[in-house]
Structure 1
Amino acid sequence: MKIIVQKYGGTSLATPELRSRVCDIIAAHRQEETALVVVVSAMGREKEAYATDTFINLIKESNPDPPLREMDILVSCGETISGVLLTSHLCARGIKAKFLSGEQAGIITDSNYGNAHILYVNPQHLLECLSAGMVVVVAGFQGISEQGERTTLGRGGSDTTASALGVALDAEYIDIFTDVEGIMTADPRIVGNARLLDAVTYNEICQLAREGAKVVHPRAIEIAMQKSIPLRVRSTFTDSVGTIVANQNPVWDNRARIIADRLITGITYTSNIAQIKISIDSHLEPRGIDLKIFKSLAQADISVDFITVQPEAIRFTVNNELAQKTKEVLKKLDLSFDIELNCAKVAIVGAAMTGIPGVMSKVVEALSENDISILQSGDSYTNIWCLVNSKDMEKAVQALHDKFELGNK
């Protein structure tokens, strides 16, 4: 049995007209004698009636710090509403369909409310429904713990649900339907000549996602990699195949799509960052001070990033909203420090940059030519990132995109 998993985001399901469009896509795949599992997100975005953020705001009106167990029960309702409506719409069209909650679909998680990880999937009930000729609509973002409690999977959780089901069912591929054409070389709202990528590797899209691109959640990519199941990032509103995510050269419609050995795949960014610069004074005992700093921050539940440790100074970043809390922790340690608010992290990502000389030189050249100061920099095998002032972020993205000629075919 050929199985395809499709995931539809909230913007693809927000209105009756859009849900009708989704039904058209499902009906077209049914004609290909394909068994379909359809994963849905909550409908719409913040301030819309059934969006996840709407439920969060609702419960926080009565309690700014609600119990996490009850929060998960409430926010998981959005996907249930969305799934039941789509199932009803399919049945009205004469398409045999059945809705399953995360629990009914066999998604078993740990007990970390609000950001649970999937432990395993028992696909028996899903396979029974598919064998009966049904389109199975599954609520994304939710599962059940081994203790029998409803859990949610955190932001991007519906992507994670789709990938987990794809792996458990050994699907042909996983389609992530959204409101964009696919994966672009940069954010098209910033870069006018940003280009759609035909194909990227798992590693490249993971890095793009972790550095700020919001097309697919990195956890979903990592799960799909376990069985090398290709993903397609597609628009609900066009018939384009979008971007294929795979490590090999998959063939769609008898056409080979080659993942080229390009130097740079794309440019991405993260904003609302604060940089912390700690001076290691000569009167302090330097040995172990870095451990003391980061252990104290961990105990205060402060997540740090972009870490540079030197004998005379330590630098790292936190989200802007954690800057004040970080300041309080460092004051207790009697440290001399500066905080630079409103920074942004700009990154270039490319699987082929490893061992290639001159990449960092081009990064520095692109930014210096546009009078953009680099506050901090770092790199890994597949990316280079620079911390800049937020006011320079968009200019930096455009400058790097132009320097590496990503707008050209």
Structure 2
Amino acid sequence: MDFIVQKFGGTSLVDEDMRLKVAAKVVEASQAGYFPVVVVSAIGRQGEPYATDTLLSYASSGNKELSPRESDLLMSCGEIISGVVLTATIQKLGYPAIFLTGAQAGIITDNNYTEARIIKVDPQCIVRHALEGKIVIVAGFQGITNEGEVTTLGRGGSDTTAAALGVALEATSVDIFTDVEGIMTADPRIVSDARPLETVTYNEICQLAQEGAKVIHPRAVEITMQKNIPLRIKCTFNDAPGTLVTSYGEVYKGSIDITRDRTITGITNISDVSRMKIIIKNCSDVPEFQKKIFNALAHAGISLDLINILSESILFTVKNSVVAKAVRVLEEINIYPEVLPDCAKVAVVGAGMTGVPGVMAKIVEALSNEKIQILQSADSYTTIWILVKRVEMEKCIQILHRQFRPGEYL
């Protein structure tokens, strides 16, 4: 059976006109000979009646505090509403369709309420209905424990649902439909000539997603990568081809030429961070001092990023929202960090940079010519991260986009 998994976000389901556009894409896949399995998010965004955040706000009004279990029961309602409504839309067009909750679709999770992880998918119910000629619509973002408790999958949960079903069904592809035309070379609100990428590797899209690109959750990419299932990011509102996410060999097929390669794929950013710097001086046991710092922050549940451990100092970034807590934790052990607030992390991503000399030199040259100071940096095989002042972030991204022309084969 040639399954194709199609996931539609809340903005694609917000009204009847939009749902008809969604239904048309589902029917088109069915008429092309595929067995479509459709994963839906809750309708709309915060403030709209059936959005997940709206439901939570309603339930917690009057200072009521929901337990994690009851929160999951409530949050699962949004996807059920959107799934039932889309199913009715497809049925009205004359096509047999059936809606399944995450539990009915066989999505089994652990019992970590509000942030559950999928541990198994049993697609038998989906397969049975598909063999009966029905289009199957599944509630994203939710599952059920072995004990029968409803759970939700956390941020990006519907993407994760689609990816897990794609793997379980050995789907031809997993198509993520959004309100943009694919993965962009940069945020188009910052770079006016940013453009959609035709192809990216699994590793590249994971890096872009983790570093601020919000089109797809990195967990979904990691899941589809397990069985090398093609992942496509497409627009609900038009027929643009979108972005194909696949293996390195497929992306660079026909372009393996040492004189011509795609060095940089995209540039993204995280804007709400602060840098903390701890000076090491008059310390008789530096390793113990380092351990003391990181253990204290870890026990406090504070996530660190862009970590540089040097002989004379320790530098790292934290989200602006936890700066005060991090300072308090360190001061309690008589360590007093220097805090540089309102920074931004810019990530330059590209599998083609591996082993290519001079990429960092070009970054430094381009930014120094415009008097933008790099406060800190780090790198991996596919990514170079730099820290700059928040007020210089947009200019920094624009400069680097001009310098590297992401997505082009140079």
**After TM superposition, is the score higher than 0.5?**
yes
CA distance in 2, matches of 1:29, 1:76: 27
Given the superposition, is the C-alpha separation of residues 127 and 355 from structure 1 closer, same or farther in structure 2, using an over 3 Å criterion? same
Matches within 5 A, 1:323-362: 323-362=323-362
Residue 314 of structure 1 aligns to a residue in which SS? strand
CA distance in 1, matches of 2:65, 2:311: 41
Residue 154 of structure 2 aligns to a residue in which SS? coil
Q: Which residue of 2 aligns with 1:247?
A: 247
Given the superposition, is the C-alpha separation of residues 149 and 35 from structure 1 closer, same or farther in structure 2, using an over 3 Å criterion? same
Aligned length: 405
Q: Which residue of 2 aligns with 1:122?
A: 122
CA drift at 1:400:
0.6
CA drift at 1:250:
6.4
**Aligned partners of 1:231 and 1:245 also within 8 Å:** yes
CA drift at 1:357:
0.8
Structure 2: runs of 5+ lacking an equivalent: none
Identity, in percent, stands at 54
Letter in 1 for 2:368: S
Q: Which residue of 2 aligns with 1:67?
A: 67
CA drift at 1:148:
1.7
Q: Which residue of 2 aligns with 1:147?
A: 147
CA distance in 1, matches of 2:404, 2:148: 51
**Aligned partners of 1:280 and 1:336 also within 8 Å:** no
**Aligned partners of 1:263 and 1:353 also within 8 Å:** yes
CA drift at 1:112:
1.2
Residue 368 of structure 1 aligns to a residue in which SS? helix
> Which deviates more from structure 2 when the two are superposed, residues 258-267 or residues 216-225?
258-267
CA distance in 2, matches of 1:171, 1:98: 19
Q: Which residue of 1 aligns with 2:291?
A: 291
CA distance in 2, matches of 1:201, 1:191: 22
Across the aligned residues of Structure 1 and Structure 2, the Cα RMSD in angstroms comes to 1.8
Matches within 5 A, 1:49-88: 49-63=49-63, 65-88=65-88
Q: Which residue of 2 aligns with 1:193?
A: 193
Residue 263 of structure 1 aligns to a residue in which SS? coil
**Aligned partners of 2:262 and 2:407 also within 8 Å:** no
> Which deviates more from structure 2 when the two are superposed, residues 163-172 or residues 189-198?
189-198
Given the superposition, is the C-alpha separation of residues 237 and 250 from structure 1 closer, same or farther in structure 2, using an over 3 Å criterion? farther
Q: Normalising by structure 2, what TM-score? A: 0.95
Deviations 1:196-228 (A, max 9, x none): 111111111111111111111100000001110
CA drift at 1:72:
1.1
CA distance in 1, matches of 2:332, 2:226: 45
CA distance in 2, matches of 1:277, 1:69: 40
Q: Which residue of 1 aligns with 2:101?
A: 101
Q: Which residue of 1 aligns with 2:224?
A: 224
CA drift at 1:258:
6.2
> Which deviates more from structure 2 when the two are superposed, residues 328-337 or residues 279-288?
279-288
Given the superposition, is the C-alpha separation of residues 65 and 343 from structure 1 closer, same or farther in structure 2, using an over 3 Å criterion? farther
CA drift at 1:249:
6.7
Residue 213 of structure 1 aligns to a residue in which SS? coil
Q: Which residue of 1 aligns with 2:208?
A: 208
Residue 13 in 1 paired to residue 3 in 2? no
Structure 1: runs of 5+ lacking an equivalent: none
Q: Which residue of 2 aligns with 1:306?
A: 306
Residue 104 of structure 2 aligns to a residue in which SS? coil
**Aligned partners of 1:7 and 1:40 also within 8 Å:** yes
Deviations 1:329-378 (A, max 9, x none): 01101013111111110010000111111000111112112221111100
CA distance in 2, matches of 1:125, 1:193: 46
Q: Which residue of 2 aligns with 1:46?
A: 46
Deviations 1:226-277 (A, max 9, x none): 11000110000011111111116769xxxx9867741110000001101111
Letter in 1 for 2:219: R
Letter in 2 for 1:215: V
Given the superposition, is the C-alpha separation of residues 291 and 111 from structure 1 closer, same or farther in structure 2, using an over 3 Å criterion? same
**Aligned partners of 2:264 and 2:407 also within 8 Å:** no
**Aligned partners of 2:327 and 2:336 also within 8 Å:** no
Deviations 1:273-332 (A, max 9, x none): 011111123146322222211111111111111111112211111111001110110110
CA distance in 1, matches of 2:306, 2:92: 52
Q: Which residue of 2 aligns with 1:237?
A: 237
CA drift at 1:406:
2.8
Q: Which residue of 1 aligns with 2:268?
A: 268
Residue 271 of structure 1 aligns to a residue in which SS? strand
Given the superposition, is the C-alpha separation of residues 392 and 65 from structure 1 closer, same or farther in structure 2, using an over 3 Å criterion? farther
> Which deviates more from structure 2 when the two are superposed, residues 95-104 or residues 277-286?
277-286
Deviations 1:77-102 (A, max 9, x none): 11111101000111111110000000
Q: Which residue of 1 aligns with 2:24?
A: 24
Q: Which residue of 2 aligns with 1:167?
A: 167
CA distance in 2, matches of 1:196, 1:28: 23
Matches within 5 A, 1:381-396: 381-396=381-396
Residue 137 in 1 paired to residue 137 in 2? yes
**Aligned partners of 2:266 and 2:407 also within 8 Å:** no
CA drift at 1:147:
2.3
**Aligned partners of 1:293 and 1:330 also within 8 Å:** yes
Given the superposition, is the C-alpha separation of residues 281 and 15 from structure 1 closer, same or farther in structure 2, using an over 3 Å criterion? same
Residue 385 of structure 1 aligns to a residue in which SS? strand
Given the superposition, is the C-alpha separation of residues 235 and 262 from structure 1 closer, same or farther in structure 2, using an over 3 Å criterion? same
CA drift at 1:114:
1.2
Letter in 1 for 2:19: R
Deviations 1:144-171 (A, max 9, x none): 1122211111111101000000000000
Given the superposition, is the C-alpha separation of residues 349 and 407 from structure 1 closer, same or farther in structure 2, using an over 3 Å criterion? closer
